[in-house]
Structure 1
Amino acid sequence: MDQTSAPASRPALRELTALEGRVVAVLLEKQFTVPDTYPLSLNALASGCNQKTARSPVMSVSEDEILTAIDGLKSLSLVFEGSSSRVPRFEQNLGKVLGVPSQSAALLSTLLLRGPQTAAELRLNTARLHAFADISSVEGFLDELAERTPALVVRLPRAPGEREHRWMHLLCGEVSIPESTAAYRSGAESAASPSELEALRISHRALEDKVAKLQALVVEMAGQLGIEVEAGRLE
């Protein structure tokens, strides 16, 4: 994994609007999934922003609204407009501006497009952008993003009924964590002894790895059949 030896420290980027985040993430996604039509035209970009699948939240935005978002992203050098075509086409520059490797850019893009996700979900959902070897590899890059100054992602407390922690990007500002979730996590952990907690963590990681291997097998088989599989369908 081509991580740097220490967390990077870069000037803080202003908070992106939800639509700015969607635009730059769609451009990164389509760069890998439809390379023949990248950079994207405004029409193709609008279709990607308003896509009903693999998006959370689902948006319904106009081309004028997208152009306004593009102007904001241009000022941050996150988006460029190509000049070699009669039809304006746009491309992203997320990785270079943030100073992160392609693996981290893929994770950030997927979080921008789909919202909070577990490491296992991110491994599955980034498969077409980058093929992570295992969940530990995903977690390594997430940890690096979380340790940067300023942090680019945050690990959310595990909510009641959830089996795994979810991660969320911080490109659009701080994430609001419900007090009930934090209180539940605190109470649950204080009720168990350190040895019990460690046993639970080991058991959970073993189960997580088994699930990830099964998910990877399903994705591989689906890919051979030309079928796109979403994480939600495997849970």
Structure 2
Amino acid sequence: MDITPTLPVLSAEEQRVLGSLMEKSKVTPEYYPLTLNALVAACNQKTSRKPVVNYDDNTVIATLDALRKKGLVSTVTGGSSRVTKYKHNFAVVYPIIPAEVTIICLLLLRGPLTPGELNTNSGRMHEFESLDEVQALLDNLAGAEQPYIRQLPKRPGQKEARYMHLLGGDELPDDSELETNDVGSSTELAARLAKVEAELATLRAEFDKLMQELS
């Protein structure tokens, strides 16, 4: 009888490198496995990442070494290129299907998400048939003998529950940073809106003055 290995507790760097390899295996299969340069660029993307990071080559190399020791990453050499490339082995080590890999990947790269957010952000990685399919996959991943994810308590005013992966341990995420970011975004938006309204008021006054001079 096969026994599913226990999930390792990965560092933030390991989560980002593993998630980036998962993503690129689906989104750009023609360039996968990834070279070191491509993997560094994938980790440091400004889009589809939370938080945005700026890893250097040494950080990614050290992280790849740690993931190799855990059996989650392997190297590929040979063929027409002598450059070492890297691929993830998550779906080899753990008995999950491609759609479930997509969910875990998104949670690794973006943090806790609702079923709707998972469906919206899956992009070219996997085309979910419906929200019901997403929910069913989440239930499978959370209820497996070796749980991969867990449901988080709903925040005030939130309609959908969020889910987090368990590759960083089962400690609940600190929502204070998210709330600060939300407030910061709202404040910034209000300031920008006030600036636009002031500029429009100035333009309107200048236009009225010009019309009076012409009349």
The bucket for the TM-score relative to the shorter chain is 0.7 to 0.9
The 3 A distance-change label for structure 1 pair 152 and 37 is same
Residues 142 and 150, structure 2, Cα contact 8 Å, conserved in 1? yes
Could you tell me how far 1:26 is from its partner in structure 2? 0.5
Residues 9 and 150, structure 1, Cα contact 8 Å, conserved in 2? no
Which of residues 46, 50, 53 is equivalent to 2:44? 50
The 3 A distance-change label for structure 1 pair 178 and 114 is closer
**Residue in 2 that maps onto 1:98:** 94
Q: Deviations over 1:169-211 (max 9, x none)?
A: 011111326699xxxxxxxxxxxxxxxxxxxxxxxxxxxxxxx
Runs of 4+ in 1 over 4 A off after TM superposition: 177-180
CA distance in 2, matches of 1:177, 1:28: 22
Q: What letter is aligned with 1:87?
A: V
Q: Deviations over 1:30-71 (max 9, x none)?
A: 112112211111011001101111101111111111111101
Q: Does 1:138 align with 2:134?
A: yes
Q: What letter is aligned with 1:116?
A: P
Could you tell me how far 1:10 is from its partner in structure 2? 1.7
Q: What letter is aligned with 1:126?
A: S
Alignment of 1:147-158 (within 5 A): 147-158=143-154
The 3 A distance-change label for structure 1 pair 169 and 179 is closer
The 3 A distance-change label for structure 1 pair 62 and 178 is closer
**Residue in 2 that maps onto 1:167:** 163
**5+ residue gaps in structure 1?**
1-7, 181-235
Which deviates the most, 30-39 or 169-178? 169-178
**Residue in 2 that maps onto 1:192:** none
Q: Does 1:129 align with 2:125?
A: yes
Q: CA RMSD in A?
A: 1.9
Which of residues 52, 61, 64 is equivalent to 1:67? 61
Identity %: 38
**5+ residue gaps in structure 2?**
177-215
Residues 5 and 93, structure 2, Cα contact 8 Å, conserved in 1? no
The number of aligned residues is: 173
Could you tell me how far 1:124 is from its partner in structure 2? 1.5
Q: Deviations over 1:141-176 (max 9, x none)?
A: 111111123311011111012221111101111132
TM-score computed with the length of structure 2 as normaliser: 0.76
CA distance in 1, matches of 2:69, 2:100: 22
Q: What letter is aligned with 2:96?
A: V
